[in-house]
A and B are shown apart, each in its own frame.
Chain A
Amino acid sequence: MSARSLCLLLVTVAACTEPPPPASRRDALSPPARAPRRLSAAQLHAAIEGATGEVWRGPATIVDPLSYTGTRDAPDADLLKLYAAGLGAPDFNYTVQESLEPTITFAKYAEDAVRATCTAAARKTPSTLVKVSGDDEAARRANATALVLRFWGDVIEPSSDEVNGLLELHGQGGWAAVCVALATHPRFLTF
């Protein structure tokens, strides 16, 4: 394509393109924001593992088609996967659509998972919950801010009320308590 043809094409396209509407009209035409959604069972599992580096495990009887009875006792079963039906996951046998309702069952299992993984993460050396180490308040504020970014994806001021609340929790239960607070907050559980 020659330079002349290209220029002609660009001029034609520019002539046919409607100028952008003024800001007020543009706002009016914007589709309304999508309603927030609760994390699915699989998303919750991945989100907790991604934020804490831990998976909620424990002893349980699990389905094992290869065993004589169809089940077996596992010492370290992945409990969130085991309780996925209670979290709303379909079994693809009787149900194929995931329930994303904020039920008591979901809240209970999600908080149990968060408490187990946050406690395990805090006990590790070095802890996966400590991004900025140090005993002074500035370091604690910086670490709380870093955890907010990790758990919620939000950048907040180290002097904000939220960080103040998190530091109060840190004073009571260490970074494990901060982790539980962040991971049970709707900002972590919805998108």
Chain B
Amino acid sequence: MLTRRTLMQTGLVAGASLFSRLGFAQSMPALDRARRFVFFYLPGGWDQLLFLDPREEQGDIARTDVDPAYASFGAPLGGGPHFTGRVYRPYATSRDFMLGPGVVATTGPGTDLPVAGPTLVSLASAGVPMAIVRGLNMGTLGHEPGQAYFLTAAPAQGSAAVGASIPIRIAALLEDPATAAQTLTPVLSFGLQSYTGDKPGRLAAFSVGSLDDVQRLLARQSGLVLSPSTEASLGRWKGRALEKSRGLSRQLLQSYEGAAEMIEAKVADRFDLLRGTSPALQAVRARYGLSAQSNPGSAEAVAAFAAQAVKESLAQFISVSMPVGLDSHGGDNRAHAQAAWPALRALSLFLDDLRSAPSALGGTWLEHTTVLVFSEFARTPRFNVAGGRDHHFTNSCLLAGAGVRAGAVVGGSSVVGMQPLPWDFEGARTLPADTPLTATRRHLVPEDIAATLMASAGAPWNELRTARPLWPALTRAP
């Protein structure tokens, strides 16, 4: 039977009056095969009161069971040089778009002055397209199932991921050898698990765990390079073998060609972020505050690598795990904010970098890159006996860049207990907590985020079955 949903998923939405009630005032964006995607994962579970789902007022904690404790920043507990101001409050850049006090660090003890450089607040105020999805029901309080759920848009079986990772799913949808994005490899995963599932092996992630891994894969150590005449003979030998080959043998020999091209292109030099001498790399180090002595596993180095991978077209889909640990069951607001700050600062530098970097596709790279920032779940709205917050399933995520409607906020959590509120997909609004759940009035889940990413690039999302894109509330036509 032809349903509205079927029509939507087969891309026949343009001009169809059936959709007026759904709020589909705009037509679906055209398929954007060159769209880049970057996925930032913050491991450990983040406190939404501090970041993406803050409260305006302290409120009646006994009634609401929500304790923002923003005033506790000034207390002498918690470590680190930042977040030592007197009283912190959320930052509102528009009526709806509000970020928690943990997204901007202060310059030092006793001051409320924000640190120098871009922050999520300054970027949002400057019009960088950023949107928040709140009230995501993760349905799990386990780290591995939560991570797997967000990575694959399918609830994990126990701790095991089900199906392919979202980058690989979208890569399969956008793949077209004739018009595909001219990147060295389709999918790159930095320190993060990637699942190929039933998708083609050519989309399997180019997996690296460190900047050293990147160098090792993109270059050949001098001791392994043969004489030029031997290399030439070896090239002829492989060329003759390629002429006679087919099937898997041909794929293997083509992979050798790909590896050889990667080495010959001297791409590795462009990713020697800490030691490279080119003016471009010196500019990268200056922007991210890096030097030859910097920790190659720092958040700034990882973010700089992700930006470089976009700008140098290393991959179309880039997933990075930020080197932070947010699983703080003890410690106060300040300790948690301090733990997340390196990642949030690096993310701000990344967005600022892409919005000023001219793209080979025209405009800036941020105009061609969609960014998703997520963690596996959130933290409880009240403190535990150790003064920290435990795992809470009402999560949020941040989208930025291409296809994202600036300042959009979708979903929400309840005033009492921070429970996920149902979302009305037809009316594009948050509903009261006691609303009976239906197919179109239900909690938001990670599948909806994946569907939104697919829809924003004009790709069908029907393989996600019950998922619905948050279109057009969250995204806009490119």
Q: A86 contacts B207, CB within 8 Å?
A: yes
A106 nearest CB neighbor, chain B only: B255
Q: Does B211 contact A (CB under 8 A)?
A: no
Measured in the bound complex, the distance between the Cα atoms of B216 and A168 in whole Å is 30
Q: Does A185 contact B (CB under 8 A)?
A: yes
Kindly identify which residue among A102, A104, A168 contacts B262, using a CB–CB cutoff of 8 Å: A104
Determine how close the nearest CB of chain A comes to the CB of B259; give it in whole angstroms. Answer: 4
Q: Does A181 contact B (CB under 8 A)?
A: yes
Given the interface pairs A95-B193, A186-B248, the reply to whether A181 lies near B221 with Cβ below 8 Å is no
A114 nearest CB neighbor, chain B only: B224
Q: Does A150 contact B (CB under 8 A)?
A: no
Kindly identify which residue among B148, B202, B233 contacts A168, using a CB–CB cutoff of 8 Å: B233
Chain A residues with CB under 8 A of B141:
none
Q: B230 contacts A99, CB within 8 Å?
A: no
Contact with A along B244-261 (1 / 0, CB 8 A): 010111011111101100
Which segment, of A6-14, A24-32, A139-147, A169-177, faces chain B?
A: A169-177
Kindly identify which residue among B161, B196, B226, B258 contacts A173, using a CB–CB cutoff of 8 Å: B226
Determine how close the nearest CB of chain A comes to the CB of B197; give it in whole angstroms. Answer: 10
Q: Does A45 contact B (CB under 8 A)?
A: no
Q: B207 contacts A165, CB within 8 Å?
A: no
Give chain A interface residues in 132-191, CB to chain B under 8 Å.
165, 168-169, 172-173, 176-177, 180-181, 184-187, 189-190
Q: A36 contacts B247, CB within 8 Å?
A: yes
Measured in the bound complex, the distance between the Cα atoms of B246 and A190 in whole Å is 13
Q: Does A101 contact B (CB under 8 A)?
A: yes
Q: Does B66 contact A (CB under 8 A)?
A: no
Q: Does B177 contact A (CB under 8 A)?
A: no
Q: Does B179 contact A (CB under 8 A)?
A: no
Chain B residues with CB under 8 A of A88:
204
Q: B255 contacts A107, CB within 8 Å?
A: yes
Given the interface pairs A36-B247, A190-B249, the reply to whether A104 lies near B206 with Cβ below 8 Å is yes
Measured in the bound complex, the distance between the Cα atoms of B195 and A35 in whole Å is 24
Most A-side CB within 10 Å, residue of B195, B213, B223, B230: B230
Give chain A interface residues in 14-44, CB to chain B under 8 Å.
35-38
Apart from A36-B248, A173-B230, what are 9 other A-B pairs with CB-CB below 8 Å?
A: A37-B248, A83-B216, A94-B160, A96-B160, A103-B202, A119-B224, A169-B234, A172-B229, A173-B226
A interface residues (Cβ-Cβ under 8 A, vs B): 35-38, 83, 85-86, 88, 94-96, 99-109, 111-112, 115-116, 119, 165, 168-169, 172-173, 176-177, 180-181, 184-187, 189-190
Q: List 18 A-B contacts (CB under 8 A).
A: A38-B252, A99-B196, A99-B204, A102-B248, A102-B252, A104-B206, A105-B206, A107-B259, A111-B259, A112-B220, A116-B223, A168-B237, A169-B230, A169-B234, A172-B229, A172-B232, A172-B233, A173-B226
B interface residues (Cβ-Cβ under 8 A, vs A): 144, 148, 160-161, 185, 193, 195-196, 201-202, 204, 206-207, 213, 216-217, 220-221, 223-224, 226-227, 229-230, 232-234, 237-238, 240-241, 245, 247-249, 251-256, 258-259, 262
